[in-house]
């Protein structure tokens, strides 16, 4: 039986927000959209964690959503990052995404203020009842400080347009419980756990490494979907060092922006408090990219 968010199965890419001289680099952003369309990705996820949403102004956040939707022009789905630790702000951003034509909203769990489980439920319910586009619950306790428990996600699944979970707890038990108790589509929030998560019923990934090797991530997901388990394992093992470095050398999106700079696809600029990789980490990243065959 298809799950509620199966239209978003496959590879979604959490795209970076490019900067040039401290400002949004819109030509490079448009080039990213074209790169992913050409690769055959299912969906783009602008202004998430990888898109440096915490340091964008509200006006910039809205501008990136609009730019990506307009550039995509219906050729690829767009799941815009619209989460906040303020329910009022999350609602405003999600309304904006819906108005601009986004296909779905990626809403991170409220961070820093650490709501109760009832608070999480009321937060998502308030937005889901006001906006009609599908919503993906983004659960990443390592960033937000608190887990949305599977029982709470099961309650959220009863709301019509809560259709997906971006599962970034690192717990296959939690993912399994969600898959057992709901009809939500589960997407991996960690590149290196894509294959394990699909093995228990996940349908794809919202990927960081997909910024540079979307075709390879698509190949992994397709191989598993088609029942070619050995082939999927081969892709998993090939991709693992790259996935490890993107999240292990420093906080995301520092390594992916450095990699894109090395590949001539981004300036590599970050906004404080994000700072560039140190020399040792840059050398390690260059070795990994070289060994992978990208440099």
Write out pLDDT tens, residues 227-236: 999 999 999 9
235 belongs to a structural domain: no
pLDDT for position 257? 98
Query: Which DSSP helix (H) or strand (E) runs through 291?
Result: helix 279-292
**DSSP per-residue letters across 71-132:** HHTTSSEEEEE---SSHHHHHHHHHHHHHHT-SEEEEEPP-SS---HHHHHHHHHHHHTT--
Among 166, 222, 284, 292, the active-site one is 166
Interval 154-213: pLDDT, tens: 999 999 999 999 999 999 999 999 999 999 999 999 999 999 999 999 999 999 999 999
249 belongs to a structural domain: no
pLDDT for position 228? 98
pLDDT for position 129? 98
Domain that holds residue 164: 6-228
Among 124, 138, 146, 257, the active-site one is 138
Catalytic: 138? Answer: yes
- Of how many residues is the chain composed? 295
Catalytic: 160? Answer: no
294 belongs to a structural domain: no
pLDDT for position 236? 98
**How much is the mean pLDDT over the chain?**
98
Interval 222-245 mean pLDDT: 98
Residue 277 DSSP one-character state: P
Interval 102-115 mean pLDDT: 98
Cα–Cα dist 26/13, whole Å:
18
Residue 250 has pLDDT above 90, yes or no: yes
Dihedrals phi, psi of 3, to nearest 5 degrees: -90, 170
Residue 89 has pLDDT above 80, yes or no: yes
Structure-token pair, residue 120: 């999480």
251 belongs to a structural domain: no
293 belongs to a structural domain: no
How many domains does the chain contain in total? Answer: 1
- For residue 87, the domain's CATH number is 3.20.20.70
Q: Are 62 and 81 in contact (CB under 8 A)?
A: no
pTM across the whole model: 0.97
Structure-token pair, residue 35: 């790169």
pLDDT for position 109? 98
Question: 135 forms bridges with which residues in the sheet?
Answer: 105, 162
Structure-token pair, residue 105: 């909203």
185 belongs to a structural domain: yes
Interval 91-114 mean pLDDT: 98
Report the greatest alpha carbon distance in the chain: 50
pLDDT for position 1? 75
pLDDT for position 273? 97
């Amino acid at each position: 039986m298809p799950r509620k968010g199966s239209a978003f199965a496959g590879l979604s890419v959490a795209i970076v927000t490019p900067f040039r001289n401290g400002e949004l680099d819109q030509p490079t952003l448009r080039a990213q959209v074209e790169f992913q369309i050409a690769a055959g990705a299912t969906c783009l996820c602008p202004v998430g964690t990888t898109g440096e949403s915490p340091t964008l102004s509200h006006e910039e956040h809205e501008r990136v959503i609009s730019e990506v939707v307009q550039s995509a022009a219906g050729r690829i789905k767009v799941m815009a990052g619209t989460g906040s630790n303020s329910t009022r702000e999350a609602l405003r951003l999600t309304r904006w995404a819906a108005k601009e034509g986004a296909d779905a909203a990626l809403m991170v769990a409220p961070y820093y203020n650490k709501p109760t489980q009832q608070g999480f439920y009321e937060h998502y319910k308030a937005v889901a009842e006001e906006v009609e586009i599908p919503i993906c619950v983004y659960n990443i306790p390592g960033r937000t400080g608190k887990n949305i428990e599977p029982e709470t996600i099961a309650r959220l699944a009863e709301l019509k347009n809560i259709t997906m979970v971006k599962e970034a707890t690192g717990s296959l038990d939690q993912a399994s419980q969600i898959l057992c108790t709901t009809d939500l589509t589960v997407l991996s929030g960690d590149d290196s756990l894509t294959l394990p998560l699909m093995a228990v019923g996940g349908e794809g990934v919202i990927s960081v490494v997909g910024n540079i090797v979307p075709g390879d991530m698509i190949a992994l997901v397709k191989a598993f979907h088609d029942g070619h388990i050995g082939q999927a394992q081969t892709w998993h093992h090939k991709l693992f060092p790259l996935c490890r470095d993107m999240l292990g050398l420093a906080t995301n999106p520092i390594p992916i922006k450095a990699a894109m700079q090395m590949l001539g696809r981004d300036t590599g600029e970050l906004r404080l408090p994000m700072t560039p990789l140190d020399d040792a980490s840059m050398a390690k990243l260059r070795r990994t990219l070289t060994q992978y065959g990208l440099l």
